[in-house]
Amino acid sequence: MHDATGGAGFACADLTTFCRLDELGLEVTGQRLDCDRAMLACRITDEDRWCRRCGEQGSPHDTGTRQLAHEPFGWRPTTLLVTIRRYGCASCRHVWRQNTSSAAEPRAKLSRRGLRWALEAIVCQHLTIARVAEGLAVSWNTANDAVLAEGKRRLIDDPGRFDGVKVIGVDEHVWRHTRRGDKYVTVIIDLTGIREAPARRGCWTWSRAAQNRPSWPGWPNETSPGARR
């Protein structure tokens, strides 16, 4: 029988690459599909068996597991169950575990792909934290903390985030209607004509605008003529 996909550039089905786990240094070894979620058993492709103290080859000691929330497929939450080997060195008695930094940050509950999916869902698709947490099958606090930390690392801590900004707009907004706590935020948005960048940049800070002007070079003060334009 003629195979219509034979000359169309199709490769063999591979769950590891389909789920982008090869980017995380992982390989799928099994799956468990439920009606409301999927769990993928994974192993770390890098054996990491060389002692980090003396450089001798270690021997497998035992194994443990680590669960990571991964990017969902079809809005069904996907969880990774990663098997982690522990090695022991006969020379210096040092014991260590396989390095999982390619898959996730230390002590993180989201994989790097899951974290990127969450950030893109908030910034690009305008999803709420509650919807992101539902898609990842994690708590609201877990999703919120992860997105804030990653957003700060990738966006706020970027030293070149204001490169090319020539025109800005400033507005004050009542963020929440409560008697306690801060109510106002100052919103600053890049109004420079979009020529190369895919989107406008913006930031906000708590409290009133007069007290929270950014200390940027050339920012007008209260007495300068440009402050009223």
pLDDT tens, residue by residue, 120-163: 999 889 999 999 999 999 999 999 999 999 888 887 888 887 78
Residue 9 located in a structural domain: no
Number of structural domains (the chain) is 2
pTM: 0.72
Mean pLDDT to the nearest integer, 73-77: 88
Range of weakest confidence among 57-66, 77-86, 95-104, 178-187: 178-187
| R_g (Cα) of the chain, nearest Å | 24
Same domain, yes or no: 142 and 78:
yes
149 shares its domain with 182: no
Last-in-domain residue among 128, 156, 184:
156
- pLDDT at position 38, please? 94
227: which 2 tokens? 């402050």
Regarding whether 138 and 67 lie in a shared domain, the answer is: yes
Q: Assess whether 139 and 177 both reside in one domain.
A: no
Strand 38-44 versus strand 26-33 pairing type: antiparallel
Distance between CA atoms of residues 71 and 40, nearest Å: 12
In 184-204, which positions are buried (b, 16+ CB within 10 angstroms) versus exposed (e)? bbbebbbeeeeeeeeeebeee
More confident residue, 34 or 226: 34
Categorize the per-residue pLDDT at 174 as very low, low, confident or very high, splitting at 50, 70 and 90.
Answer: confident
Three-state SS at 10: coil
Percent of residues, the chain, with pLDDT higher than 90: 48
Q: For residue 5, is it within any domain?
A: no
Q: How many helices (H) and strands (E) does the chain have?
A: 4, 8
Domain of 27 in residue numbering reads as: 15-156
* Co-location of 145 and 184 in the same domain: no
